[in-house]
Amino acid sequence: MGEREINALGFHVGIELEETSSMSLDDDLEEVSMMTKKTPVASSVLAFNNLTYSVNTSKEWRFRGILGRKDTEAVTSTRAKRKMLLNNISGEAREGEILAILGPSGSGKSTLIDALANRISKESLGGSVTLNGETLESGVLKMISAYVMQDDLLYPILTVEETLMFSADFRLPHSLSKGKKMERVQTVIDELGLRNAAKTIIGDEDHRGISGGERRRVSIGANVIRDPILLFLDEPTSGLNSSCAFMVVKVLQRIARSGRIVIMSVHQPSSRVVSLLDQLIFLSLGETVYYGSPFNLSPFLSEYGHCVPENEDTTEFMLDLYRELEDVPGGTRSMVEFNQEWYKKRNHPSNSEYSTTRLDESLKEVIPRGKLIYSDIGLTSFANPFWFDTVVLVKRSLRNSNRMPEGVCFGTLSKRNKGFKN
């Protein structure tokens, strides 16, 4: 992190937008790892089998009878056509690991993330998603998971600490004391390696603040504040340089190791990022062309008949290879079929060979606090009543607006004038 200075508002702002050095952040994370490391009481496994999802792309034409006579009935012609977005996708994500979904644009990465996170209607989704062998109801999944979107939607004039504190107020029960919430916020700040930026504003194009990589980590922190079991992320490294992307995934690795299941999509990761991942799923037009460990990717390609050239990145080689196959007759069908046979031949262990427990017993052990308080009746639908959430949202908006009044008055008028001029 570059040096910080105090602005007129009394908050730290970054002179530079450089990411924290690798050595410094790694040291911080190692220390935090020792502080926050916890031994999972029960191992959780999220398994998905034969996920299939398609959308209707049919076109419909309407026309009346001969010469447009009104006495003839309207005739409808429909050409039925469905586009397959996911085709028999199977795999599993285990506690303490990162499962990464890779592929070019349009391969189905975000669709698979949405399917696993229950953001697709069950009526249109085939296959099954289970946790420890039991089907997850949508209400339970909502309570034990968090979804981090690709865009960082943060208030620019709030500090990192304030942003996470408002998230704690919103996501944790209002019955929890302010001190306990602040304690949780400080734990998350350390877990994300944001201690040096805690008093710095988020910033935007008009207000200098934290770096892009730190901003992404704050977005992650706002969602993990309630300590979810499952963490879904849609391309968390998008828009970041190689160094920032590595730091973000390094933090995600720490989060996974602390006893969570992390599932993320990524477009084209560097070799350093891939080294932090535990399991990979390569998608091509909604089908799996490789599923397994990053370390087995090179042997997979060799057996498929495409040895990775010396000094060439294995992941990039794989992506380039099946992009080329997509443009030839037959496409990636041969690779899809080879992956299925190769996976069976490797004798991957099934869920039953892992130390898993009944879902209800597992939840009692791994949901210790916050919004995820377990009871004999079940999981609560909301952390707080509607009126309390409304107060928190209004308070956050007012604090941000009071610190940048030009954004409410002059900034708005300026943008409108620019619109008229254009």
148: domain CATH number is 3.40.50.300
Secondary structure in 3-state letters for the chain: CCCEEECCCCCEEECCCCCCCHHHHHHHHHHHHHHHCCCCCCECEEEEEEEEEEEECCEEEEECCHHHCCCCCCEEEEECCEEEEEEEEEEEEECCCEEEEECCCCCCHHHHHHHHCCCCCHHHEEEEEEECCEECCHHHHHHHEEEECCCCCCCCCCEHHHHHHHHHHHHCCCCCCHHHHHHHHHHHHHHCCCHHHCCEECCCCCCCCCCHHHHHHHHHHHHHCCCCCEEEECCCCCCCCHHHHHHHHHHHHHHHHCCCEEEEEECCCCHHHHCCCCEEEEEECCEEEEEECHHHHHHHHHHHCCCCCCCCCHHHHHHHHHHHHHCCCCCCHHHHHHHHHHHHHCCCCCHHHCCECCHHHHHHHHCCCCCCCCCCCCCCCCCCCHHHHHHHHHHHHHHHHHHCHHHHCHHHHHHHHHHHHC
Residue 225 within any structural domain of the chain: yes
Q: Average pLDDT over the chain, rounded to whole?
A: 78
pLDDT digits (tens, 9 = 90+) for 272-329: 999 999 999 999 999 999 999 999 999 999 999 999 999 899 999 999 999 999 888 8
Q: Which of 310, 288, 364 is nearest to 87 (CA)?
A: 288
Q: Which of 316, 304, 305, 234 is nearest to 274 (CA)?
A: 316
Residue 236 within any structural domain of the chain: yes
Residue 104 within any structural domain of the chain: yes
360 contacts: CB under 8 Å, gap ≥ 6: none
pLDDT reported for residue 147: 95
β-pairing verdict for 287-292 and 279-284 = antiparallel
124, two tokens: 């249109």
pLDDT digits (tens, 9 = 90+) for 9-59: 444 544 333 444 444 555 555 554 444 444 444 478 999 999 999 988 765
413 DSSP β-pair partners: none
99, two tokens: 């499962």
What is the domain extent for residue 118?
A: 82-344
Residue 375 within any structural domain of the chain: no
Q: What is the pTM of this model?
A: 0.76
303 contacts: CB under 8 Å, gap ≥ 6: 338, 342
pLDDT reported for residue 123: 81
Return the number of other C-beta atoms located less than 10 Å from residue 198's C-beta: 18
pLDDT reported for residue 361: 63
Residue 405 within any structural domain of the chain: no
β-pairing verdict for 134-135 and 125-131 = antiparallel
Q: Which of 134, 372, 103 is nearest to 264 (CA)?
A: 103
pLDDT reported for residue 276: 96
Residue 227 within any structural domain of the chain: yes
pLDDT reported for residue 71: 53
pLDDT reported for residue 124: 85
Instruction: Please list the pLDDT of the chain residue by residue as tens digits (422 residues).
Output: 444 444 434 445 443 334 444 445 555 555 544 444 444 444 789 999 999 999 887 655 565 555 555 555 555 555 667 888 999 999 999 999 999 999 998 899 999 999 999 999 888 899 999 998 888 888 888 888 999 998 878 888 889 999 998 888 878 887 888 899 999 999 999 999 999 999 999 988 887 889 989 999 999 999 999 889 999 999 999 989 999 999 999 999 999 999 899 999 998 899 999 999 999 999 999 999 999 999 999 999 999 999 999 989 999 999 999 999 988 888 899 999 999 999 888 865 554 455 556 666 666 655 544 334 333 334 555 555 555 566 666 666 766 666 665 554 444 434 434 333 44
Q: Which of 176, 264, 247, 186 is nearest to 221 (CA)?
A: 186
pLDDT reported for residue 170: 79
Q: Report the domain count for the chain.
A: 1
